[in-house]
Structure 1
Amino acid sequence: MKRALVLRGGALGDFVLTLPLIRALRLPFEKVDVLANRAFADLSGKSAFALDDLDLAPFFVPQTELPQKWRDYFSRYQLVISYLHDPDRSFERNVRACGCATFVAGPHRIEDGAHATEQLARPLHQLGIAIADWAPKLEHNQAETAAVCAEFPLPLMALHPGSGSARKNWPINNWIGLTQQLLACGRSVVVIGGEADEGEIAAMRNHLGDRVEYAIKWPLRKLSALLSGARFIGHDSGVSHLAAAAGASCTVLFGPTDPKTWAPRGNNVRVHLAPGGNLIELKLELVVKLLLTRGLLQG
């Protein structure tokens, strides 16, 4: 059996942007395993494991004696692609020493220019493997998705007012005003929040109370299932990439980061770049007009 292993650290968005590469590997390889951060390892399928649970420290030490269990583990793979930070290539040399036939280092950092999915897919160019579809996609269990979506009345608007970076956030008063307009149009609204969004969620709760639902720190598989049946509005964030990959109809407000590199990909995504890349300058009235043209604010 031809087996490949992908080691992917980083945040949620980084992981989602690597999904096209993982999907492309499944054509020439019978089994593709993924080692990623625990919070989102299972998003790519059953053959995914938590990088956090593994003690790989010996592999980053030059000329070290490697545990036999790890020699056996890495020797199973004909191909290993690693995005782990490995400045002196100790990890690469140690994995090769285990008997891995081919090791390819992916980019540890995304640079301005080509889209992130294309930069992350560069290891495939070395292998002669093509990518037919550049849009990350997540598979869902139909029963699980139906059960999650049944908890909310439709049509459902999912809003994520955070991003983990204040400079990438549209002012919270605009989010509150937009939510009030959505409610006035009879939309069901769920506000999504993670650990980095506590301030934004507190403000939304203070002004909107229980007129909206909240999905706070949900497991990502459950959140992905919810988003698959929703219309989504967010920023340049991991949650926006998750929503796009889940199949949500996405409106993404961008700035100051460059959407040519960082925007979620897919025919279900519409990106709106703030004037001068400054979200403070993006007026609520303009976003409302944008949503009207997409049919999201009609009563």
Structure 2
Amino acid sequence: MANVAPILGTKTKADSQSRKAILFRTGGLGDFVLTVPLLREIGRHFDEVLLITRPRYFSFADSLGFSLKLGDADIFDAKKVDFVQGATVFTFWGDEDWIDELRRAGVAEVRVLASRPDAPPHVSARMFEDANLPVPKDLFERSWLESETPAGTSLWLHPGSGSTEKNIPLSVFVGQAEAWLA
């Protein structure tokens, strides 16, 4: 993976202060994909980013548009990773004991994100609110993974989890399909 780098800071960030961020993201493919816009925004605002996730999602790192470090969620131990010192952590896990463990390991701030919000906005927009980061104006209007434009006669769309609270309205998928077919 050419885009996974141990040293970052090669592009100008939105904030001038040097900072580190860690995003913990487990769950299924749909959950991971819904988090990609947030991960990219974290990459804009922080000089160094560590993504702790399942190894099966590591291959997405080359499509994010910035370099980051990767860690395996199944074996991550905050007490044994120097990167946590002074870092801002973004997590969907709200367990107080685990948050206390992160703080004892030297994390500067923990921002807990709602994984199953029970009210609007859409979970993808809610992540930004909980993360205290600006919601991109084009959140629902663009591809967040840098990849080739689809070619051929098939277009695959992943609708999400099946939960009406998490999914983008069907009309957005119809619009994407119509634009692709045009």
Q: Normalising by structure 1, what TM-score?
A: 0.44
> Which residue of 80, 90, 99 corresponds with 1:81?
90
Q: 1:17 to 1:134 in 2, by over 3 A?
A: same
Kept in 1, the 8 Å contact 2:53–2:72? The answer is yes
Let me know the Cα RMSD of the aligned residues: 3.5
Quote the Cα distance in structure 1 between the aligned partners of 2:52 and 2:73: 9
**Which digits, 9 at most, give the CA deviation of each residue in 1:242-293, with x for residues without a partner?**
xxxxxxxxxxxxxx743x740289x7x4269xxxxxxxxxxxxxxxxxx8x7
Which sections of structure 2, spanning at least 5 residues, go unmatched?
Answer: 1-17
Q: 1:32 to 1:295 in 2, by over 3 A?
A: closer
Q: 1:264 to 1:121 in 2, by over 3 A?
A: farther
> Which residue of 133, 138, 144 corresponds with 1:137?
144
1:205-220, aligned counterparts within 5 Å? none
| 1:17 positional shift | 1.1
| 1:111 positional shift | 3.2
Report the counterpart of residue 117 of structure 1 in structure 2: 124
Q: 1:27 to 1:264 in 2, by over 3 A?
A: farther
Letter in 2 for 1:29: F
Q: 1:139 to 1:234 in 2, by over 3 A?
A: closer
Higher relative contact order (CA 8 A, sep 6+): 2
Rg bigger for which structure? Answer: 1
Quote the Cα distance in structure 2 between the aligned partners of 1:48 and 1:26: 11
Letter in 1 for 2:70: F
Report the counterpart of residue 168 of structure 2 in structure 1: 263
Kept in 2, the 8 Å contact 1:80–1:104? The answer is yes
Report the counterpart of residue 4 of structure 1 in structure 2: 21
| 1:25 positional shift | 1.9
> Which residue of 25, 30, 47 corresponds with 2:68?
47
**Which digits, 9 at most, give the CA deviation of each residue in 1:195-216, with x for residues without a partner?**
xxxxxxxxxxxxxxxxxxxxxx
Identity of aligned residues (%): 19
Q: Please give the secondary structure, in 2, of the residue aligned with 1:4.
A: strand
Quote the Cα distance in structure 1 between the aligned partners of 2:29 and 2:111: 22
1:9-24, aligned counterparts within 5 Å? 9-24=26-41
Q: 1:99 to 1:116 in 2, by over 3 A?
A: same
Kept in 2, the 8 Å contact 1:115–1:261? The answer is yes
Quote the Cα distance in structure 2 between the aligned partners of 1:38 and 1:105: 22
Kept in 1, the 8 Å contact 2:116–2:166? The answer is no
- Which structure carries more strand by proportion? 1
Kept in 1, the 8 Å contact 2:20–2:88? The answer is yes
Quote the Cα distance in structure 2 between the aligned partners of 1:53 and 1:295: 38
| 1:116 positional shift | 1.5
Is it true that 1:38 corresponds to 2:55 in the alignment? yes
Kept in 1, the 8 Å contact 2:50–2:71? The answer is no
Which sections of structure 1, spanning at least 5 residues, go unmatched?
Answer: 60-66, 150-154, 159-231, 239-255, 273-290
Report the counterpart of residue 97 of structure 1 in structure 2: 104
Report the counterpart of residue 115 of structure 2 in structure 1: 108
Quote the Cα distance in structure 1 between the aligned partners of 2:72 and 2:117: 21
- Which structure carries more helix by proportion? 1
Q: 1:47 to 1:295 in 2, by over 3 A?
A: closer
Q: Please give the secondary structure, in 2, of the residue aligned with 1:156.
A: coil
